[in-house]
Amino acid sequence: MAVEIVQTTAMPPAIQQVLDREFHVHRLWEASDRNALLKQVAPNVRGMVTSGGVGANRALIEALPRLEMISSFGVGYDSIDIDCAKERGVTVTNTPDVLTDDVADTAMALLLAMMRRIPQGDQFVRQGQWPKAKFPLTDKLGGKKMGVLGLGRIGQAIARRAEPFNVEISYFGPRRKADIPWRYYDNLVAMAKDVDILMIACPGGKETEGLVNQAVIDALGPKGYVVNIARGSVVVEPALVTALVEGKLAGAGLDVFADEPNVPEALWKLDSVTLAPHVGSATHATRQAMGDLVLKNILAFFAGQPVLTKVV
């Protein structure tokens, strides 16, 4: 008998095919009455496939008394109640490393697009304005200082990409890292005062909620830029929006927001801002690699083997 699992959200087709072949999958995201389906299948469900976006809250984990493992699509697990999983002895896995390059590429793309006004230049050409006017001058990346908030896998990949652009790197995090050549700050406001660009690459969740607050925004000042490819929750979004609207920050490149997919309308009109719909890892190759890891983890677990990328 196939192991019964619940799946909270759609997976890439090739991944779904394997899940459907190997497991008895209950598709929560397609159910007309999600709670009724959950209640009906709960006594037999031993596994869950979810994503960083959808997660698994306490109510969902506790609704499944025989749940043994959660295989999540995404590296961030702030939307999964890890305390509850621990209490219940549920194994949780994520998909680190395979997405690092794409997310770092996205961060650099947002940074350059914002500073050099690439989206506006594109519109300028398409709307036939080039023969009539000159496109305004923009800001230079080379020579700027970038402070990375959260120098983990993605933060380091961004820093390594930024260095050849002649950008000076420093970082803030819970601890100084051994064998890292870049300057360490144990105070985020102090780092924000010293840099031109704040690159946000730490995890979401309670520990980092609102870290980028009014004091950090003020320290960056009207020549400062923010790029966020981490989580919307890390930033006090109303303070960021107000600073951008009032020109108290030079610009922002944002892939993530406090209440996705709802993006504050005040940002839509600002030339100083480049917006992306949470697409840091969204390439065919990387989404396939993330899906493969979701599969490897859940297949290993139910085959009695060690999982590959364990969170808890």
How near is the Cβ of 155 to ligand NAP at its closest, in Å? 6
Query: Residues 189 to 208: which contact ligand NAP by CB under 6 A?
Result: 201-204, 207-208
217 near ligand NAP, judged by CB under 6 A: no
Distances (CA, A) of 197 to 77, 131, 261: 26, 34, 25
Task: Tell me, yes or no, if 278 is annotated catalytic.
Answer: yes
Distance CA 250, CA 272 (A): 7
How near is the Cβ of 193 to ligand NAP at its closest, in Å? 17
Contact 181, 163 (CB under 8 A): no
**Could you say which of 96, 232, 253, 291 contacts ligand NAP (CB under 6 A)?**
96
Q: Between 60 and 202, whose beta carbon lies closer to ligand NAP?
A: 202
Task: Tell me, yes or no, if 231 is annotated catalytic.
Answer: yes
Distance CA 189, CA 218 (A): 9
Distance CA 10, CA 29 (A): 7
How near is the Cβ of 209 to ligand NAP at its closest, in Å? 9
Contact 24, 67 (CB under 8 A): no
Q: Between 134 and 175, whose beta carbon lies closer to ligand NAP?
A: 175
- Any bridge partners for residue 180, and if so which? none
Q: At what angle do helices 100-116 and 153-162 cross, to 10 degrees?
A: 50
Q: What is the C-alpha end-to-end distance of the chain, expressed in Å?
A: 27
In a 3-state reduction of DSSP, which class is residue 33?
A: coil
Q: Between 7 and 208, whose beta carbon lies closer to ligand NAP?
A: 208
Question: Site mask, ligand NAP, residues 10-49, x = CB under 6 A?
Answer: ----------------------------------------
Helix/strand number for the chain, H first, E second: 12, 12
Contact 74, 291 (CB under 8 A): no
Query: Residues 46 to 85: which contact ligand NAP by CB under 6 A?
Result: 75-76
Q: Between 47 and 74, whose beta carbon lies closer to ligand NAP?
A: 74
Q: Between 174 and 181, whose beta carbon lies closer to ligand NAP?
A: 174
Q: Between 41 and 228, whose beta carbon lies closer to ligand NAP?
A: 228
In a 3-state reduction of DSSP, which class is residue 7?
A: strand
Task: Tell me, yes or no, if 22 is annotated catalytic.
Answer: no
Distance CA 100, CA 157 (A): 7
278 near ligand NAP, judged by CB under 6 A: yes
How near is the Cβ of 159 to ligand NAP at its closest, in Å? 11
Which residue number has the CB closest to ligand NAP?
152
162 near ligand NAP, judged by CB under 6 A: no
How near is the Cβ of 276 to ligand NAP at its closest, in Å? 8
In a 3-state reduction of DSSP, which class is residue 194?
A: helix
Contact 79, 52 (CB under 8 A): yes
Residues of this chain that interact with ligand NAP (CB under 6 A) are 75-76, 96, 99, 103, 149-155, 173-175, 201-204, 207-208, 229-231, 255-256, 278, 280-281
Active site members: 231, 260, 278
